[in-house]
Amino acid sequence: MSKTIIIVGGGISGLTVLHHLRKKHANTHDVAIKLLEMEDSVGGTVRTIRRNGTQFEAGPNAFLDSKPSTLELAQDLGLESDLTVASTENKIRYICLENNLYQLPKSPISFFRFKPLTFIEKLRAIMEVCVPRGQNPNETVYEFGTRRLGEGIAKYFLDPLVSGICAGDSHELNLQFTFPTIYSLEQKHNSLIRGMFANKKGKSGQLRSFKHGMGQLIEKLAQQHADSIVTGIMVDRVLPQKNGYDIQAGQTSFFADELILSTPAFATANIVNAMNPDLAKHLREIPYASITVVGLVYTVEQFKTLIRGFGYLRPTHEGKEILGVLFSSQIFPSRVSQGKVLLQVLLGGAKHPQTIRKSEEEIFDIAQEEIKNVLGVTGHPQDQFIFRWGKAIPQYNRAYPKTYSTIKNTLQQHPHLHLLANYLDGIALNDCTANAKALADKINL
């Protein structure tokens, strides 16, 4: 008897599971697989805007290939020759304090020269090897940093890392779920320093993108699976049926033997509300931080000196709306034409929910002022982009561990229903592709 798998949501998670399921069932004629996306095009958060020779990334800039899932996907799609690796400049990173840049240390010597930390704070950080292993899985990133390495490291290293990666608040986000690698280093080696030495030969991964930007991955997936994708169709709700689900989308309905909801937590909550209001309630408990992304294009001549590197992050205690600035064209030079410089300014995040509501003009002013004050640029940009994400990134906060396990337990009441998106098991794009592959392997018809 023929079977139908329906995927709701065409972000990278939904598209990747579609790809692997179609591959798995390529020689099976009685399996139909369909993806329903509410927007006119797929991609979700992954979005490359190409204009006047510039590639502006509104969403992810790159992915870390620490697990092979995205590389293998690229290979499947015939995109290997279009994969790009971040330039070595990417290893030079800064934090910004009172508009001055301080290069983050890469060696013990540079650590001792790192000015923002006092001598006592540096000694405290080294004493980390003597700190006993933590016992509290509910610790926040800031609490963890303070306990293991001292407040200086929490404030100048971990706090900006949280705002740069998750647009989040280090005092609120749970360490174990937000940075599972750091958590397991402590659990396994009793010490981060010892763990890092032990893992030195381990694979930390390279930062990668595609010749035509991250959007190229989406365009190739969309092209290859066009006959399975329906866009412009918003799913309203699902109801259980014998051995499957009824899916309502406006006046249209579908039946699925296996249903994958690959939509953000708040959208998933609306979809499952009629079927299981409790599940919907727990999904709504996951908050999202907003973020505004601005791209600014200057000529090289507008800079007195071009600072080398990946970019900088701002620790949040100064209260600035700017989370950080990426030197995009130094990381991936092909993103802008010769003689130009592309910078990406990130604003808002969990600590500044008001930023997203500011006018375009106000936001461009804040971003340009930042570049003028910190990087000493003169004059106006040659081109500028803006993209606002009202609900950008799910926050694995203090309440998250309980919410996570409740959602996973509740799902056991609903066989053949699967939740797959960045609010579960990792925010990074590479986590999304790895989780999608694992789900495709697990679903057996």
Ligand X SMILES: Cc1cc2nc3c(=O)[nH]c(=O)nc-3n(C[C@H](O)[C@H](O)[C@H](O)COP(=O)(O)OP(=O)(O)OC[C@H]3O[C@@H](n4cnc5c(N)ncnc54)[C@H](O)[C@@H]3O)c2cc1C
| Binding positions for ligand X, rule: CB under 6 A | 8-14, 36-39, 44-46, 59-63, 234-235, 262-264, 267, 271, 291, 293, 389, 392-393, 421-422, 427-430, 432
CB closer to ligand X out of 22 and 148: 22
Give the β-pairing of 311-313 and 93-97: parallel
> How far apart are CB 252 and ligand X at their closest, in Å?
12
Smaller CB distance to ligand X: residue 56 or 150? 56
Concatenating the DSSP letter of every residue in 261-312 gives: E-S-HHHHHHHHTTT-HHHHHHHHTS-EEEEEEEEEEEEGGGBSSPPPSSEE
Task: Report in angstroms how near the CB of residue 286 gets to ligand X at its nearest.
Answer: 13
Smallest gap from residue 129 Cβ to ligand X (A): 31
Q: Cβ(318)–Cβ(96) under 8 Å?
A: no
Work out how close the CB of 406 gets to ligand X at its nearest, in angstroms, rounded to a whole number: 20
Of residues 8 and 153, the one with the C-beta less far from ligand X: 8
Contacts of residue 223, defined as CB under 8 A and 6 or more positions apart, other chains included, come to: none
122-158 burial by CB neighbour count: b if 16+ within 10 A, else e?
A: bebbeebeebeebeeeebbbbbbbbbbbbebbbbbbb
Q: How far is the CB of 217 from ligand X (least distance, A)?
A: 10
Please name the amino acid found at residue 247: I
Q: Which is nearer to ligand X, 125 or 432 (CB)?
A: 432
The Cα 1–Cα 264 span in angstroms is: 32
Which run of H or of E encompasses 20? Answer: helix 12-24
Give 117 or 350: the residue with its C-beta nearer to ligand X. Answer: 350
Contact by Cβ (8 Å): 175, 146: no
Residue 413 Cβ, how far from ligand X at the closest point, in Å? 21
Q: What is the nearest approach in angstroms of ligand X to the Cβ of residue 324?
A: 11
Nearer CB in complex with ligand X: 298/423: 423
User: In whole angstroms, how close is the CB of 192 to ligand X at the nearest point?
Assistant: 22
Which CB atom, from 122 or from 418, has the smaller least distance to ligand X? 418
d(CA 296, CA 438) in angstroms, rounded, equals 38
Alpha helices in 292-428 (DSSP H): 328-331, 360-375, 400-411
Least CB distance to ligand X at residue 196 (A): 22
Taking residue 339's Cβ as centre, other Cβ atoms within 10 Å add up to 8
Select 36 or 125, whichever has its Cβ closest to ligand X. 36
Residue type, 56: F
Listed in sequence order, the residues at least 6 apart from 442 whose beta carbon sits closer than 8 Å to its beta carbon are none
* Nearest-approach distance from CB 242 to ligand X, in angstroms: 24
CA–CA distances in Å: residue 198 to residues 158, 161, 179, 265 = 21, 23, 18, 37
Smaller CB distance to ligand X: residue 148 or 220? 220
> CB of residue 439 vs ligand X: minimum separation in angstroms?
12
Closer to ligand X by CB, 13 or 191: give it.
13
DSSP, residue by residue, 22-37: HHHTTT-TTEEEEEE-
Distance CA 60, CA 45 (A): 7
**Angstrom distance (rounded) from CA 255 to CA 246:** 5
357-387 in b/e form (b: 16+ CB < 10 A) is ebeeeebbebbbebbeebbebeeebebbbbb
C-beta closer to ligand X: residue 99 or 231: 231
Cα distance between residue 399 and residue 409, in whole Å:
16
